[in-house]
Amino acid sequence: MMINKLECKDHEYIVDLLTVEDNGSFCCPKCGMTISPEDETQENYTIVNTKVVNDELGELVVACGKCGITIILTGFQQI
Ligand SMILES: [Zn+2]
């Protein structure tokens, strides 16, 4: 089992996908660049980590391709 402790959140931002637009894109909390998880080219972001819960995507950790901050995407189960 993976241990999913997130103890260092100083440079991490959490985005709940329930609060973003229908197409799943959102703006980087720091630099404002639009990031779309459905953009498979990953030009605007880099997937750092994924967390699977009950065979479903629970969290997606990405790094902004422009400013490099870590953004944690949550709320996949509710979609
Ligand atoms: Zn950014």
- Phi, psi (degrees; rounded to nearest 5) at 17: -65, -15
What is the b/e burial string over 43-71, where b = at least 16 CB atoms within 10 angstroms of the residue's CB?
A: ebbeeeeeeeeeeeebbbbbbbeeeeebb
CA of 4 to the centre of ligand 1 (A): 24
- For 43-69, the pLDDT digits (tens) are 889 999 999 988 988 999 999 999 999
What residues flank ion ligand 1 with Cβ within 5 A?
Answer: 28, 30-31, 64, 66-67
Q: Please tell me which residue, 10 or 65, carries the higher pLDDT value.
A: 65
pLDDT above 80: residue 38:
no
- What pTM does this model have? 0.74
Q: Environment class of residue 7 by beta-carbon count within 10 Å: exposed (0-12), middle (13-18) or buried (19+)?
A: exposed
User: Would you place residue 20 in the very low, low, confident or very high pLDDT band (cuts 50, 70, 90)?
Assistant: confident
